[in-house]
Amino acid sequence: MIVEALLANIVILLGLALVLWVIAVQIDDVSFVDAYWGGGMAIMAVVSWLRLAEPGPLATLLMAMAAIWGLRLAIHLLIRWRREGEDKRYARMLAKDRERGRFGWAALTKVFLGQSVLLFLVSSPAQYGILEAASLTPVSGLALIGLALWLVGSFFEWVGDWQLARFKSDPANEGQVMDRGLWRYTRHPNYFGDACVWWGIWIASASAGWWVAAATVIGPLFLTFTLTRWSGAPLLEGGMKKSRPGYADYKARTSAFFPRPPKKSAD
């Protein structure tokens, strides 16, 4: 049953990706795929939960944790895309393909299918945990620990995004570095929050069985890797160095990921 349900989830995800790809080709912009990242994870959690004849407390908690996080992120990123237009990261990624007339194929293979695979992988703790949880599986102490970490992550992500949006909305801050609020303690409070959210979901999903934790730990591990070492912070900071003159000083005094008080002076 679980394998069949996960395969059905893959079909749904691929179908959604193909629909969004067609839209991207029509408007010549793939940037809204970031909203698909969060929204797709929410959908995977909800459809997994709907497959249960009698969803229990643990399954419902896991669904709520993933769906609330994913829906909020999808709305936030969709609004940002509508306000700011094409993301420079994707423009650079697909620049050569545009020049060679291969935008459509590159958008499908490099963006939408790639995102779908990673999305399914990262959200696996929620999917597997929901499907494995029996109807009467209670919310254990372990699940509450996971919920607590999820709440910490949600705070950092939601507040960090809100603070950055307010900062960018002020024309006086054009070209300046955001070093206020949570951004004073970590250069990426939203990425730190993302990691905490999915480690929290993974911990909570372990209440359904140790095999769930063992089978899905790759999800939060990969997410943390990509946020800190691959397409998250490194890609973003590469552009910030060129567009923000004060970013080097900010980077020297501010923690890259885990929040801590800023250094008094650059090393």
Q: What does the DSSP assignment read for 214-245?
A: HHHTHHHHHHHHHHHHSSSHHHHHHHHHHH-T
Q: What is the mean pLDDT of the chain?
A: 91
For residue range 25-78, list pLDDT tens digits in order.
999 999 999 999 999 999 999 999 999 988 999 999 999 999 999 999 999 999
What is the Cα–Cα distance from 199 to 44, expressed in whole angstroms? 17
Encode burial over 253-267: b for 16+ CB neighbours within 10 A, e otherwise: bbbebebeeeeeeee
pLDDT value for 239: 63
Dig out the tokens for 187 from the structure.
Answer: 């250069």
Q: Specify the pTM.
A: 0.91
Calculate mean pLDDT across residues 71-95. Answer: 91
For residue range 142-188, list pLDDT tens digits in order.
999 999 999 999 999 999 999 999 998 888 888 788 989 999 999 99
The secondary structure of 137-181 as a DSSP string is ----HHHHHHHHHHHHHHHHHHHHHHHHHHHHHSGGGTT----SG
